[in-house]
Structure 1
Amino acid sequence: MFLTPCDAASRVAERSPRLVAPADILCGGIRTVSLAAQLACCAFVAGGVLLPSAVHAQSDVSLPAVTVTADTAGPEELPGTFAGNQVANGARLGALGNLDVMDAPFNVTSYTAELIKNQAARTIGDVLANDPGVRFTTSSGHAYENFRIRGFDVGQNDLAINGMYGLMPIGHTPVEMFERVEVLKGPSALFSGMSPSGAVGGMVNLVPKRADDEPLSRVSLDYQSDS
């Protein structure tokens, strides 16, 4: 038995409560229709298109209340230290965040505030004197502290604070305000951007101290000899 598209639509409408419109509405009550109309009816039946109806009308649904809580993000913790607390076992490497020295893609040494206190270091130059890969190009009495890392010149402007250049004073930089002095050897533009002088030997990143929950007052004494 051969069924026209409109007959097929009528049978589907009779057997399915989903179709609320009879085939006469769909096909306009015309039994002899054009090819385009027949194809449209076939597409309707084959695709299972549903006309809006009260059966499918959705009532309003009240969702349960959702409570969102969060804690205030505190400062990122610094990497730990090796025995003696003078050298850290990790450093901050830009987008990589805190990374262990064993996992770092290049050589990095991070000197701590404990070393600065034990050696009574006054400037960044006093701290960098501990690194065998750093050589100074200016004398101790010079107005600037310029040095070389792996044989390449690194100027005073190439010192960064938390990865940002241009924040350091020109001249000798005191170390009382820093928690870590990180020496990164090798090209480091991927992590800290290009330094002002374009140094390729490495860079020095300074991590400032943060205020603790409890007030702190500290006094230290030292002396110098002219002989």
Structure 2
Amino acid sequence: MSTEVRPVKTPKPVPPLVAYLIIIVFTATMFVIGVIIGKAFFWENYDTTPIADRIIEVAKQKVAQDPKNPKNYVDLGWGYFKKKDYNNALSQYKKAIDLDKKYYPAYLNLGILYIETGKYDLAANTLKNAIALQPKSSNAHLNLGIAYTKLGKYNEALKELNEAYKLSPGSTRIIYEIGVTYEKMGKIEEAKYQYKSALEFDPKFEEAKKALERLNKK
């Protein structure tokens, strides 16, 4: 007696449109579940404090724990600086210097603060002190160059900016600031060359891009 062997029926393929609908529904469902879980367990506990306020809070704790460490006051001043509370930033940087007359970061940050607030003579003098403490500080030479440019002392500015570049070759910020100085001097072609050089290193450098576009329109 023979047994009839029936062919196995293969499942029909799911139409592409139906498959896409299944994927979309599944993805949407998982997204909703994720939102519910995130809201219930994570998002309400996430720290939304602005970064400047967090820096200030941590630095205040460090000052309270170690009030004779100038670094803690510089950190606190940096938090106030980021918050654009320049008076409090100034106070903290000066406290750091009072604690240690040779603490280079305090002079550097104070010099940058003076540039930000338009006190360029004070900035130049403060940054000279920073350089006396750290002659190979590219950042100090850079900012002193910026201060000199603001004061219209272009030759001094170029000297400092070129020194900064020797210490940090390839720095697009330094190249850009050299361009700014040349532009202030009325040396447009030299300025264009510097802006182009900055963009070769960093094509997304918006300040250099806008400066070059401005000069090309003249």
TM-score range, shorter chain: under 0.3
Higher strand share: 1
Point out the structure with max Rg over C-alpha: 1
More helix per residue: 2
Q: TM-score, normalised by structure 2?
A: 0.27
